[in-house]
Structure 1
Amino acid sequence: MSFTRSGKKNPVHGMAMWVRKQPPKVKSFLAVIAGMACLVFLRIVVVDHDNLFVAAEASHAIGICVLIYKLIKESTCAGLSLKSQELTAMFLAVRLYCSFVMEYDIHTLLDSATLITTLWVIYTIRFKLRSSYMEDKDNFAIYYVVIPCALLALFVHPSTSHNLFNRISWAFCVYLEAVSVFPQLRVMQNTKIVESFTAHYVFALGVARFLSCAHWVLQVLDSRGYLLTALGHGLWPSMVLLSEIVQTFILADFCYYYVKSVVGGHLVLRLPSGVV
Structure 2
Amino acid sequence: MNVFRFAGDMTHLFSVLVLLLKIYATKSCSGISLKTQELYALVFLTRYLDLLTDFISLYNTVMKLVFISSSLAIVWCMRAHPVVRRTYDKDQDTFRHYTLVAGSLVLALLFHDRFTIREVCWAFSIYLEAVAILPQLVLLQRSRNVDNLTGQYVFFLGNSSVCFYERELLSCKPVAHCTDLHERAYRAFYILNWIYRYFTEQHFSRWIPWIAGLVQTGLYADFFYYYYLSWKNNVKLQLPA
TM-score band, normalised by shorter chain: 0.7 to 0.9
1:124 aligned partner:
77
1:51 aligned partner:
3
1:114 aligned partner:
67
Among residues 80, 89, 108, which one is paired with 1:134 in the alignment? Answer: 89
Bigger mean CA offset, 143-152 vs 209-218: 209-218
Among residues 139, 144, 165, which one is paired with 2:99 in the alignment? Answer: 144
1:241-260 alignment, distance < 5 Å: 241-260=210-229
Distance 1:253 1:119 in 2: 28
1:207-226 alignment, distance < 5 Å: 207-209=159-161, 210-223=187-200, 226=203
Larger radius of gyration: 1
Q: Which structure dedicates a bigger proportion of its chain to helix?
A: 1
Partner of 2:204, secondary structure, is: helix
Tell me the amino acid that sits aligned with residue 214 of structure 1: I
1:38-77 alignment, distance < 5 Å: 50-77=2-29
**Does the 8 Å contact 1:53/1:215 carry over to 2?**
no
How far apart are residue 256 of structure 1 and its match? 2.0
Between Structure 1 and Structure 2, how many residues are aligned? Answer: 213
**Does the 8 Å contact 1:85/1:122 carry over to 2?**
yes
Question: Cα deviations across residues 205-254 of structure 1 (Å, max 9, x unaligned)?
Answer: 111133342255224522476112xxxxxxxx323211011111111221
Greater RCO structure (CA 8 Å; 6+ sep): 2
**Does the 8 Å contact 2:4/2:192 carry over to 1?**
yes
Distance 1:103 1:253, change over 3 A: farther
1:45 aligned partner:
none
Distance 1:238 1:52, change over 3 A: same
Q: TM-score, normalised by structure 2?
A: 0.81
Gaps of 5+ in 1: 1-47, 229-236
2:119 aligned partner:
167
Answering whether residue 177 of structure 2 is matched by residue 200 of structure 1, we say: no
Question: Cα deviations across residues 8-57 of structure 1 (Å, max 9, x unaligned)?
Answer: xxxxxxxxxxxxxxxxxxxxxxxxxxxxxxxxxxxxxxxx6x33223222
Partner of 2:94, secondary structure, is: coil
Identity %: 29
Distance 1:183 1:71, change over 3 A: same
**Does the 8 Å contact 2:123/2:208 carry over to 1?**
no
**Does the 8 Å contact 2:4/2:193 carry over to 1?**
no
Partner of 1:270, secondary structure, is: coil
Partner of 1:78, secondary structure, is: coil
Cα-Cα RMSD:
2.0
Distance 2:86 2:136 in 1: 18
Distance 2:106 2:64 in 1: 24
Distance 1:157 1:101 in 2: 21
How far apart are residue 198 of structure 1 and its match? 0.5
How far apart are residue 258 of structure 1 and its match? 1.0
Distance 1:151 1:103, change over 3 A: farther
Question: Cα deviations across residues 130-151 of structure 1 (Å, max 9, x unaligned)?
Answer: 1110001110111111011111
Answering whether residue 225 of structure 2 is matched by residue 270 of structure 1, we say: no
Tell me the amino acid that sits aligned with residue 153 of structure 1: A
Distance 1:91 1:212, change over 3 A: farther
Partner of 1:227, secondary structure, is: coil
Partner of 1:61, secondary structure, is: helix
Distance 2:54 2:204 in 1: 17
Gaps of 5+ in 2: 162-186
How far apart are residue 114 of structure 1 and its match? 1.9
Partner of 2:95, secondary structure, is: coil
1:42 aligned partner:
none
